[in-house]
């Protein structure tokens, strides 16, 4: 069973290949895109008219609504099949133009990057469709509107009667939902719009996936704070052993030091993509303490998990927490601040000594 976003991504893949050279071949092959509010409410009765609307109205307007992130700029290149003179752009040319926007573009772009970008694009399109539906008046609302007579005045009870209890104010503690693991698609979407990004882990296992989003955040003057476990600490060895399966206990493989070193290298590369002024918005620290919680935070939303045995925190359950004033939100903010107080902050992650210091541990 496929999801709606997966269906849209597959249709966008067909559009990438056929829109310029054979748009008629797309007729009856775009049911998911045809079901979007803008298309369904346009009133076109023929399949050819629907395809034309999708290609020349819906997609260009939705691309204009994308944020100016690296991934989104790459998506725009993939879905622009003609140049300014109306000349057809080959798929290979669009691959090269899209790859130029990414920090780490795999050599096999079509197999590695294209599916990820189209899935991200499909999620964006669904978000725009939801916004369009919310902004559209209900069918026949004007004709059937009913004017209600003014209600009789209601006796007002003393203000104290309406004072909510502590449980009513924050009955969920700030928990929005619980995810089975870290959803990188959702994480990248949130990072693309955030002005303050906080990453706290022993190291960041998916740093390669997040590199473009980090560089883009710095380029738009957002702050990015990264806290990782100091590989010279005694805790680093304990955490490495905790990640091993019971059957691997005799193999003392250090996972923290190489993980932290790789993260520093990727963060340095991401910082080099922006000017020196914005590079200062990247803050990196190494803490010498027991890791308490794993946090991937974007503004007032955080994905929080724990350091269990035999499993990376990103592959464990993720509690989505909203609000700095909620019970859990305050706990996350206070604990993150406490860890910064005991962390060794790197003066400049792009300096070779910063990476070499970890390598020498």
* For range 180-196, the mean pLDDT: 90
Identify whether residues 191 and 292 lie together within a single domain.
yes
Rounded CA-CA distance 239/18 in Å is 51
Identify whether residues 109 and 218 lie together within a single domain.
no
Contact 326, 300 (CB under 8 A): no
Give Cα separations from 37 to 60, 75, 85, 109, 329 (angstroms): 16, 22, 31, 32, 36
The three-class DSSP label of residue 285 is strand
Contact 109, 98 (CB under 8 A): yes
Rounded CA-CA distance 61/129 in Å is 12
Looking at residue 141, what is its pLDDT? 45
Question: How many Cα atoms occupy the beta-carbon half-sphere of 103 within 13 Å?
Answer: 25
Looking at residue 276, what is its pLDDT? 84
Contact 231, 257 (CB under 8 A): yes
Identify whether residues 106 and 191 lie together within a single domain.
no
**Three-state SS across 13-69?**
HHHHHHCCCCHHHHCCCCHHHHCCHHHHCCCCCCHHHHHHHHHHHHHHHHHHCCCCC
Q: Beta strand pairing status for 223-229 and 282-287?
A: parallel
Contact 299, 194 (CB under 8 A): yes
Range of the domain at 292: 175-359
Task: Report whether pLDDT(359) > 50.
Answer: no
What dihedral angle (degrees, nearest 10) is formed by the CA atoms of 230, 232, 234, 235? 20
Among 117, 134, 151, where does a domain finish? 134
CATH number of 273's domain: 3.30.870.10
Kindly report the CA angle at 153 between 147 and 154, in degrees rounded to 5? 120
Give Cα separations from 149 to 143, 155, 288 (angstroms): 18, 18, 67
Rounded CA-CA distance 11/5 in Å is 10
pLDDT digits (tens, 9 = 90+) for 216-265: 999 988 999 999 988 888 776 666 566 565 444 444 556 678 888 899 99
Identify whether residues 241 and 113 lie together within a single domain.
no
Kindly report the CA angle at 231 between 228 and 234, in degrees rounded to 5? 115
In a domain, 66, yes or no: yes
- 331-359 residues labelled b (16+ CB within 10 A) or e (exposed): bbbeebeebbeebeebeebbeeebbebbe
Among 84, 108, 134, where does a domain finish? 134
Q: How many domains does the chain have?
A: 2
Contact 361, 231 (CB under 8 A): yes
Most confident of 65-74, 145-154, 167-176: 65-74
Identify whether residues 209 and 339 lie together within a single domain.
yes
Q: 108 or 262: whose pLDDT is higher?
A: 262
In a domain, 169, yes or no: no
Contacts of 346 (CB under 8 A, 6+ apart): 264, 284, 285, 286, 354
In a domain, 148, yes or no: no
Beta bridge partners of 298: 197, 301
Rounded CA-CA distance 301/320 in Å is 7
The three-class DSSP label of residue 216 is helix
Identify whether residues 112 and 203 lie together within a single domain.
no
Strands in 96-245 per DSSP E:
175-179, 196-200, 223-229
Q: How many residues does the chain have?
A: 361
Identify whether residues 125 and 180 lie together within a single domain.
no
In a domain, 144, yes or no: no
Identify whether residues 324 and 201 lie together within a single domain.
yes
Looking at residue 191, what is its pLDDT? 92
Identify whether residues 125 and 269 lie together within a single domain.
no
Identify whether residues 94 and 227 lie together within a single domain.
no
Among 134, 165, 187, where does a domain finish? 134
Contact 237, 296 (CB under 8 A): no
In a domain, 153, yes or no: no
In a domain, 156, yes or no: no
Rounded CA-CA distance 32/12 in Å is 10
In a domain, 259, yes or no: yes
Left (φ > 0), alpha (ψ -120 to 50) or beta: where does 20 sit?
A: alpha
Kindly report the CA angle at 207 between 202 and 211, in degrees rounded to 5? 145
In a domain, 168, yes or no: no
Identify whether residues 81 and 187 lie together within a single domain.
no
pLDDT digits (tens, 9 = 90+) for 255-286: 678 888 899 999 999 888 888 888 889 999 99
pLDDT digits (tens, 9 = 90+) for 298-338: 998 999 998 877 778 888 899 999 887 788 888 988 888 88
Identify whether residues 128 and 262 lie together within a single domain.
no
The percentage of the chain sitting over the pLDDT mark of 70, rounded to a whole number, equals 79
């Amino acid at each position: 069973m496929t999801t709606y976003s997966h269906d849209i991504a597959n249709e966008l893949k067909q559009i990438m290949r056929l829109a310029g050279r054979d748009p008629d071949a797309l007729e009856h092959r775009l049911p998911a895109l045809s079901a979007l509010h803008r298309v369904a409410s346009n009133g076109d009765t023929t399949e050819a008219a629907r395809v034309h609307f999708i290609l020349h109205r819906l997609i260009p307007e939705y691309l204009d609504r994308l944020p100016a992130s690296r991934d989104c700029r790459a998506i725009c290149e993939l879905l622009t099949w003609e140049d300014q003179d109306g000349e057809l752009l080959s798929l290979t040319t669009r691959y090269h133009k899209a790859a130029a926007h990414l920090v780490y573009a795999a050599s096999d772009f079509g197999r590695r990057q294209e599916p990820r970008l189209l899935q991200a694009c499909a999620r964006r399109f669904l978000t725009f469709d939801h916004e369009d539906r919310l902004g559209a008046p209900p069918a026949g609302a004007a004709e059937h509107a009913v004017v209600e007579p003014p209600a009789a005045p209601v006796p007002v009870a003393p203000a104290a009667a309406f004072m909510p209890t502590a449980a009513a104010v924050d009955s969920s503690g700030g928990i929005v939902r619980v995810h089975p693991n870290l959803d990188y698609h959702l994480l990248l979407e949130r990072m693309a719009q955030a002005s303050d990004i906080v990453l706290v882990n022993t190291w960041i296992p998916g740093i390669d996936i997040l590199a473009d989003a980090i560089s883009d955040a710095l380029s738009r003057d957002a702050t990015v704070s990264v806290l990782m476990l100091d590989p010279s600490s005694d805790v680093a060895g304990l955490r490495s052993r905790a990640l091993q399966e019971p059957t691997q206990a005799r193999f003392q493989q250090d996972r923290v030091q190489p993980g932290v070193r790789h993260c520093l290298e990727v963060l340095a590369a991401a910082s080099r993509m922006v000017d020196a002024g914005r590079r200062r918005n990247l803050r990196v620290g190494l803490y010498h303490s027991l890791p308490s919680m794993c946090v991937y935070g974007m503004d007032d939303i955080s994905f929080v998990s724990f350091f269990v045995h035999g499993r990376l925190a990103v592959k464990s359950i993720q509690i989505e927490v909203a609000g700095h004033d909620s019970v859990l939100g305050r706990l996350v903010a206070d604990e993150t601040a406490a860890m910064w107080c005991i962390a060794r902050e790197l003066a400049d992650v792009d300096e070779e000594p910063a990476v070499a210091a970890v390598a020498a541990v």
